[in-house]
Amino acid sequence: MKNSSDSTLTAITMTDLSVDFDERFQLTDINWVIEPDQHWMITGTNGSGKSALAAVLAGAGKCVSGTVESIPTKVAIVSFEAQAEMIAQELKKDDADIMDVIAIGTTVREVLAEDCQDQPLADELVDKFGLAPLLDRAFRKLSTGETRKMLLIRALISKPDLLILDEPFDGLDVATLPVLQNHLKTLVNTVPMILVLNRLDECPDFITDIAYLEQGQLLHKVKRSDQQAYTELHQLLHLKTTDLKVPAADPSIALPALDPSQPLVKLTKVKIQYGDSIIFKDLDWTIERNQHWQLSGPNGSGKTCLLSLITGDHPQCYVNDIFVFGFQRGNGESIWEIKQFIGYVSTALQWEYRVSVSVRNVIVSGFYDSIGLYSKPTDTEVAIADQWLALLGMSERADEPFNKLSYGDQRLLLIARAMVKHPPLLILDEPCLGLDEMNRQLVLALIERICSGTATSVLYVNHHPEDKIAGIDNYKAL
């Protein structure tokens, strides 16, 4: 691709780049290459660093470490931050004026003339954007939408080598929106563009690549043409940003009431020993209602053994001091009296779930604690399953076979299956095992939603204590 001056562009390269923004926010360890023939969309949740990353390309922020190379000389950026800075500069100019002179401020016409490289285009866009009657008005007297139009025109007529538009479609009226969209299409072969957008459904057709940020880190770079990766990214954004709540339980299926004064789980000086080999001993652990826990430890530390003491699947649970859901283990309770209060997801369960069943019915099977579905579900159960599919962004896949889904989508469905009855305790045993980074983020996003939106206590098991999930603030290490 060549720019308007017919000079050859080179790739912009960020290597291990960390940038500080007045100690308010920091981008960390950014590795990103923007080729001249690419048009990128930057996306992520609010506060993820989308606008900050775009601003770096316009020279903003203080480089803490790493490098950024080959940023074009002429970069045009339109953003709310740039708009605020422009107004601040205008106010400073007012302060410097002679006090007895009434300044009208910089007019729209003057702003557009500052770096106009194409007057016919300027006249055309002013007319199409409806700014002609406002040319002699002070720009800071404009509405937010009118100011956005002015800044867009200014950027477009400056003939930049790189065009950065941060939420360019926000605040535009229905007449202006298609004008901007159509004009951007005409620039595809002349200037690389970077658009910052919250929603994938606003992504223009000419975008070739998508960058996803979270907490100041560039976690994913997805080719628009990679349909599977694009779908997974869409699903991740949906889980992170949707207003949908975790579906309620079926009111007609109520679990027995638990004593609110008692903890869900209390282990006292428990020990697991095989012959002369002691896995752990003198272990105390109490899980209260509405607490979320992360259990971590290396392979062989006894994480799965500890879980099986809680679920009642370990033979040594009867020779230890274990109190779960109001039952003192070994006093005649059945294993099913314990398991009814637990939702459980593990890699082993996913291996077992090989029956031919639809995506919707996998979730419905959670009402029956079955592998597969062998009873006709009620209308309420089907409705709740459909609500879960909507939360997961999988409504259109309700009738697809479960065994045809990706490994990550299967894991999401099994977590939903475990949650349909809103058990007091949800145990997720290494739920990210075997998942690639994108699907790992999907699973963690769902766990965060469950932690924040239900009364279920989550017990999340993994190898790494530093691999934290928002909403989980209790930690147990083996």
pTM above 0.85, yes or no: no
In angstroms, the CA 193 to CA 37 distance is 10
Tens digits of per-residue pLDDT, 112-157? 999 999 999 999 999 999 999 999 998 888 887 888 899 999 999 9
Mean of per-residue pLDDT scores for the chain: 88
The DSSP bridge pattern shows strands 12-21 and 62-69 to be antiparallel
pLDDT score, position 6: 43
- Tokens at 383, concatenated: 């409705």
- Asked whether 329 and 318 are in contact (CB, 8 A), the reply is yes
pLDDT score, position 307: 92
pLDDT score, position 465: 67
Domains and CATH numbers, the chain: 12-225 (3.40.50.300), 265-477 (3.40.50.300)
Tens digits of per-residue pLDDT, 4-39? 334 467 899 999 999 999 877 899 999 999 999 999
pLDDT score, position 91: 76
pLDDT score, position 131: 93
pLDDT score, position 220: 94
**Residues of the chain below pLDDT 70:** 1-8, 94-103, 332, 465-467
Exposure letters 230-255 (e unless 16+ CB within 10 A, then b): bbbbbbbbbbbeeeeebbebbeeeee
Q: Which residue has the tokens 């259990």?
A: 295
